[in-house]
């Protein structure tokens, strides 16, 4: 089982923060736009142990987004642009 990859997704200051488990330990990477998110997901993939979304994704307007569902919409747009072949290689 591979536990490396993105473990958590948070809404933060009108962007998304990915908590990622790497061979060197846990890191955080920020996506201010769709291209950033696509890059991080294609680079690190998702943890086989599961990826969790913080409750701030449900209350995104409290974290810099215009509407509560905008963080989820951003994540959906990111996923629509991810090359799934890149995820297979991670």
Rounded distance between C-alpha atoms, residue 22 and residue 3, angstroms: 9
Total number of domains constituting the chain: 1
Rounded distance between C-alpha atoms, residue 1 and residue 47, angstroms: 9
pLDDT in tens, 21-79: 999 999 999 999 999 999 999 999 999 999 999 999 999 999 999 999 999 999 999 99
Domain of 54 in residue numbering reads as 5-89
Q: What is the pTM of this model?
A: 0.92
Distances from the Cα of 77 to the Cα of 5, 23, 30, 36, 85, angstroms: 20, 28, 16, 12, 17
Rounded distance between C-alpha atoms, residue 6 and residue 26, angstroms: 10
Residues in the chain: 90
């Amino acid at each position: 089982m591979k536990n490396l990859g993105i473990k958590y997704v948070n809404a933060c200051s009108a962007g998304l923060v990915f908590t990622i488990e790497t061979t060197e330990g846990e890191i955080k990477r920020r996506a201010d736009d769709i291209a950033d998110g696509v890059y991080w997901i294609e680079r690190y993939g998702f943890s086989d142990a599961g990826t969790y979304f913080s409750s701030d994704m449900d209350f995104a307007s409290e974290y810099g987004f215009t509407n509560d569902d905008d963080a989820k919409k951003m994540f959906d747009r990111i996923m629509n642009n991810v090359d799934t072949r890149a995820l297979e290689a991670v």
